Amino acid sequence: MKVIRKAPRWARTARSFGPFVVLAMAVSVQAATAPAAPDESDLKSAYCLPVLTLNKTTLEILAYDDPALERGRQGAIRTAENSIRRLRQHLDARSKTVDQFALDHAAERGVVDYQLMLAAAQACSGPCMPEADRNTVEAAQCSVACQTAREPAVARAAQCQSLDWLR
């Protein structure tokens, strides 16, 4: 007859805690590698990237009869391209270490704000841009003033014009 010996009590207890030890180790490793919260420049970069990209696309569609406005449009396209490149470089470098959810939310806000800006531009085009004087500097200045007064998103997106805040 074979005698079956029970394992000592400490061994049985250690086996029952095995899965909990593995789980605790996994949680501690995950906590150690969790992405950091984005800083202000990360959030602004994520917000401004779609604003500038959409604005560049809109500028590429436009054409002006007034040479001064056309030069301004071409300059604005070049500036937007340079800014988009800088924002992408910043976000590419930070995306490996920063929480992506917050960046995605900021980018969505940028898209929504740009749509609100377009709606304000449409609403301001009638009073500021009569058909005869549509392509003048004065009409453009009137439109910008009208949009800024009408829509708070215009002020939020204004931070994207200069990237002095980007390190």
In a structure prediction context, what are the per-residue pLDDT tens digits for the chain, which is 167 residues long?
Answer: 566 666 666 555 555 555 555 555 555 545 556 778 999 999 999 999 999 999 999 999 887 777 888 898 899 999 999 999 999 999 999 888 899 999 999 999 999 999 999 999 888 888 777 665 666 778 878 888 889 888 899 999 989 989 999 87
* Residue-level pLDDT at 124: 86
Q: What values do phi and psi take at 108, rounded to 5?
A: -60, -40
Quote the pTM value: 0.73
Shortest CA distance to 83 belongs to which of 126, 112, 45, 124?
45
Are the C-beta atoms of residues 86 and 166 closer than 8 Å to each other?
yes
List all residues 6 or more positions away from 91 whose beta carbon is below 8 Å from its beta carbon: 42, 45, 46, 49, 103
* Residue-level pLDDT at 44: 96
Are the C-beta atoms of residues 128 and 143 closer than 8 Å to each other?
yes
Q: What is the CB-side half-sphere exposure of residue 44 using CA atoms within 13 A?
A: 17
Which helix H or strand E contains 83, and what residues bound it? helix 67-94
* Residue-level pLDDT at 138: 81
Separation of CA 24 from chain center: 35
3-state SS class at 165: coil
